Amino acid sequence: MKIDKNKVVSLHYKLQENNAEGDMVESTFGSDPLVFLYGVGAMIPKFEQELSGKQEGDDFAFGIKSEEAYGEYNPDAIAPVPKEAFVVDGKVNEELLQIGRVIPMRDQEGNQLLGTVMEVGDDQVKMNFNHPMAGVDLYFSGRIENVREATEQEVEQGQAQQG
């Protein structure tokens, strides 16, 4: 069965920065495979494009430019946030404010975003709201383990059932 819309895809992959010789970012080999419902927008669009038409047992290897992955690094996405934004139960949660910690936050319009703590000052916290892989070209390689029809429930929910 070929990978197409509303198919549940199970695959193992390695993700490296830039190319096949790049630094390893993550790998599913030796653990559970990635399982997802194809064609519902859960994955990077270019990632799905590259897998289209492949079937169980096929190997794959392809690069995705940063602008088609997590976008370019945006220096304007680094911003000071008042320390009061981190008040929990009446006081600033200092444990939360560790350099490198990723914190779920909301912008003025209520959109959820993730910010990484870069620097903690007396009155404000310097946060980076870029995706950790922004500005990085991605290189995926791996193997398609299984392709199956999605159940009605999976299609309705827009996601594959795990296990």
Reply yes or no on whether the pLDDT at 140 is more than 70: yes
> What is the value of pTM for the model shown?
0.81
The contacts of residue 41 (CB under 8 Å, 6+ apart) are: none
The domains of the chain are located at: 7-70+134-157, 75-128
The contacts of residue 22 (CB under 8 Å, 6+ apart) are: 16, 139
Reply yes or no on whether the pLDDT at 128 is more than 70: yes
pLDDT of residue 152: 93
pLDDT of residue 144: 98
Region 115-130 average pLDDT: 95
For the domain made up of 7-70+134-157, give the CATH fold: Chitinase A; domain 3 (3.10.50)
Q: Using alpha carbons, select from 140, 144, 3, 10 the residue that is nearest to residue 68.
A: 140
Region 26-34 average pLDDT: 96
What is the distance, to the nearest Å, from the Cα of residue 95 to the centroid of all Cα atoms in its chain? 25
Region of residue 154 (left: phi > 0; alpha: psi -120 to 50; beta: else): alpha
Region 57-66 average pLDDT: 98
With 0-12 / 13-18 / 19 or more C-beta atoms within 10 angstroms meaning exposed / middle / buried, residue 43 is middle
pLDDT of residue 162: 72
For the domain made up of 75-128, give the CATH fold: Thrombin, subunit H (2.40.10)
- DSSP string of 81-100? EEGGGGEETTEE-TTT--TT
| Element holding 16 (H helix, E strand) | strand 7-17
How confident is the model over 151-160, as pLDDT tens digits?
A: 999 999 988 9
